Amino acid sequence: MKKFVSWNVNGIRACLGKDFIESFKALGADIFCLQETKVQPGQVELDLPGYHQYWSCAEKKGYSGTALFAKEEPLSVSYGIGIPEHDTEGRVITAEFPSFFFVTVYTPNSRDGLVRLDYRMKWEDDFADYVSRLNEQKPVIFCGDLNVAHEDIDLKNPASNHKNPGFTDEERAKFGAMLERGFTDSFRYFYPELEEAYSWWSYRFSSRARNAGWRIDYFIVSDKIKDKMKNSVIHSEIFGSDHCPVELDIDI
């Protein structure tokens, strides 16, 4: 069985000062992915014995960025989704293994006032096309901060957040449409009715202490291999970021 972990660290350099290495070791993942690393090439070096490291950095300093650490060396690794307007922010890393593709993604935020919603809609269509093309070749697992709470159950205060970034009708519909292409939300597969299970909490208003959060970090699995999934875990006990790590256990 393989253990995969994904974590939006909200700045890897800051997270390193908050016991990141200890958490990394304790989780013991076969593949460990980061989003929102906020570093440029050469700004950080992690000593992670036994792991192959792959980093994708945004052109803009201190912004976005992803990383993927794998015990098994992939057959190939690619960065971005092959569309220039999307590929300057370091949001996607794809690792190919013999029996599956593994993708980590940091989905663009629609931002306050939904000023980036139109761009987000284009991104959603293009990313869904990308993983669907991969899925035609071999099964896909993708993970990361998808910046959307799919259903009312996925955030503490759905009524007051309706039409806010991450909970607009448009974003939620795109998520649903992506699942309809042949993918499964691993956490809801195992826990379809579990409430108050969140992966992100605002730093404001003591949100984490009150568990007033959102579930916006996911492992999405090709329907072709969903029966191989064993569990999906939200590690809300792990601190160091405004997000917590999420985990997929799968027999692959």
The residue with tokens 């993942």 is 29
Helix axes 117-137, 169-179, angle to 10 degrees: 10
The tokens for 142 are 């993708």
Question: Among the options 30, 54, 130, 145, which is catalytic?
Answer: 145
Q: Based on the residue annotation, tell me whether 145 is a catalytic residue of this protein.
A: yes
CA distance 76 to 52: 12
Question: Among the options 54, 106, 198, 218, which is catalytic?
Answer: 106
End-to-end CA distance of the chain: 6
CA distance 84 to 122: 13
SS (H, E, C) 155-205: ECCHHHHCCCCCCCHHHHHHHHHHHCCCEEEHHHHHCCCCCCCCCECCCCC
Q: Based on the residue annotation, tell me whether 47 is a catalytic residue of this protein.
A: no
- Report, as residue numbers or ranges, the catalytic residues: 106, 145
